[in-house]
Structure 1
Amino acid sequence: MYTPAGYDANPAARYPVLYLLHGGGEDETGWARQGKTDLILDNLIADKKAKPMLVVMLDGNMGGPGGLAGFGEATLKRFEDELKQTVLPVVESNYRVAAGATNRALAGLSMGGLQTLYAGLKNTDLFAALGVFSSGFFANNPQLSDPQYAFMKANAGTINTNLKQLWLSMGGPEDIAYANNKAMRAKMDELAIKYVYSEYPGGHTWPVWRHDLYLFAQGLF
């Protein structure tokens, strides 16, 4: 959990929250240690480039068989349920959180980006900004992707109205998720889903994701 400078000194203040998700094979320590979240946010806030916010770094590992368990529909649904039914209530009952969707953002890298897409697009009444770093619905897995695109088609107006920002980013053509994201963007264009796209060279690596957080955080709240 990241709290900005002044959180303890200003007990009347309430803050917006970014829920930030790691990738496959990692856990909640990824963004804290390798992601340097505290340093990025401290500097942005000190330079008045980002608003003071809380950052909740979750453990997105939902268990289940197989190394890619986190990428299946059933596991993604379990993540969505855990996020809505447990994580949000616990955070909002224990920290001084500003209320409402406009004060919540959800973002993640790789597997966490897929979780963001799945849970975020289905719950734009809860999150007004989504950040998807080095991820995208699989171009070669229509069993997972097709229902998500059907949902987007049926709810495009609501998604575009509710989301202040749908931010997609990739680590250049060398990013292992590049093809998936490119195919997803083409589908979103077809469905008239609004998004912003950013590309930064470096592949599927932490320097790229730290840069993503640096840019994404500046447009929040």
Structure 2
Amino acid sequence: MKLILYAIIIIFELCFQMAWSQEKLQVIEDFKPSSLNQPEKIFPQVNSQKQVRASILAPNANKVQLDIGGVKYDMRKDDKGVWIGESNPQDEGFHYYQLNIDGASVPDPGSLYFYGAGRLGSGIEIPSADQDFFALKNVPHGLVSENIYFSKLTNSFRRCFVYTPDGYNENTKMRYPVLYLQHGSFEDETGWSSQGKANLILDNLIASKKALPMIIVMDNGYAYKTLDVNFTDKNQSKESVFENVLITEVIPMIDAKFRTIPKRESRAIAGLSMGANQTMRIMMNHLDTFSYYGGFSGTANYPSSDVIDASTFLDGKYKDGNALNKQIKLFWLGLGTKEPAPFPKSIGAFRTMLEQQGIKYVYYESPDTAHEWLTWRRCFHQFASRLFK
């Protein structure tokens, strides 16, 4: 009798779980066009469950999938050749995605395009509960300008984007501190203003008097010098010279072209992921140039072991904690709570080293975000409010 009762209970629990699972996956039909759609396009869409719905006309296709978050979702075709399909719920914030049509991955013609993952592709915004801090508001806005320059080090034309705050063109006697802000791997100099919304974040901070007016310079972290050697592997025939480009070409250009305060106490440098690795090395090699540092989802010990030896790491530049505390006005680190390996490990090992050396730093965790733009927007928001004060 007990066995029968036990079996009934198990069957009841399984039925309950199946019913709950089906209810959980049920699509709520309150989809709205994404805020990143091209003009007049109603797809892609997002619903209150944070699911993404995409649609495309492809009458001759045999199979179409929505590819987002590393997962491909099969789409359905109607009798007019229109394919439509939904993803599982996504994390809040910005996501790259694409459509896969008969094995070929292509951007969605309904969305705006962004440079990420090494290509121009589609992007979608899942509304976040705290999106007010990067929202477009009725406040005074700065200007993001495209600046083209010729680099002798790379023997090529390059560009950087420069944010100047509201009032820059009117108050011609005022000079400003400068933040050099770098993107991550497989992204470029457009990332911080397009995906990161750094200009809107700073506009809102300045308007609410939570940050000082400043200039932001966003350059391309991929800068190579072609070696005068015959290599069969093209990747081995190039040498990264971004640090030299920034120090010897970009900073002098910015100081000459814009009304900066050209001294270390008025310069900051920060970056995300690959950019955090780059900027940390640049900062420590040029403490005569920068006095503020911000690392978002990355450090110079990526990938890392569990232990960092301060006597050898970056040529021993972290050995003298007291000296660094006098030189660096702000050492700031940020990470999402859902970051994948090895980021928590590498940053954890780096923090341990800082604490062992008695080096002062600020640490921030972005709740419920991974290696993604909402993490970095939040990091920038926190970091920028502390600069140059």
TM-score by length of structure 1 reads: 0.88
Partner of 2:317: helix, strand, or coil? Answer: helix
* 1:100 counterpart (259, 263, 269): 263
Q: Distance in 1 between matches of 2:306 and 2:345?
A: 13
Structure 2 residue 297 is matched with structure 1 residue 134: yes
Q: Distance in 2 between matches of 1:99 and 1:14?
A: 9
The answer for the alignment partner of 2:383 in structure 1 is: 216
The answer for the alignment partner of 1:33 in structure 2 is: 194
* 1:55 counterpart (200, 216, 219): 216
- Structure 1 vs Structure 2 CA RMSD: 2.4
The answer for the alignment partner of 2:88 in structure 1 is: none
Moved more, 166-175 or 126-135: 166-175
Q: Distance in 2 between matches of 1:34 and 1:133?
A: 15
- Equivalences for 1:137-148 in 2 at 5 Å? 137-138=301-302, 139-140=304-305, 146-148=312-314
Partner of 1:152: helix, strand, or coil? Answer: coil
Larger Rg: 2
Cα shift readout 1:126-183 (whole Å, capped 9, x = no counterpart): 11110000002121499xx944162211x43332111110001111143441111001
Partner of 2:163: helix, strand, or coil? Answer: coil
Equivalent residue pairs, number: 212
- Paired letter, 1:109: L
- Paired letter, 1:51: L
The answer for the alignment partner of 1:193 in structure 2 is: 359
The answer for the alignment partner of 2:94 in structure 1 is: none
Structure 2 residue 242 is matched with structure 1 residue 79: yes
Partner of 2:354: helix, strand, or coil? Answer: helix
CA contact (8 A) 1:134 1:175 kept: no
Q: Distance in 2 between matches of 1:149 and 1:173?
A: 32
Choose between structure 1 and 2: higher helix proportion.
Answer: 1
User: Moved runs in structure 1, 4+ residues, more than 2 A?
Assistant: 62-66, 155-158, 173-176
Give unpaired runs (5+ residues) of structure 2.
Answer: 1-161, 226-233
Give unpaired runs (5+ residues) of structure 1.
Answer: none
Choose between structure 1 and 2: higher strand proportion.
Answer: 2
- Equivalences for 1:97-176 in 2 at 5 Å? 97-136=260-299, 137-138=301-302, 139-140=304-305, 146-148=312-314, 150-153=316-319, 155-176=320-341
TM-score by length of structure 2 reads: 0.51
Higher relative CO (CA 8 A, sep ≥ 6), structure 1 or 2?
1
Q: Distance in 1 between matches of 2:192 and 2:279?
A: 15
Partner of 1:2: helix, strand, or coil? Answer: strand
Partner of 1:90: helix, strand, or coil? Answer: helix
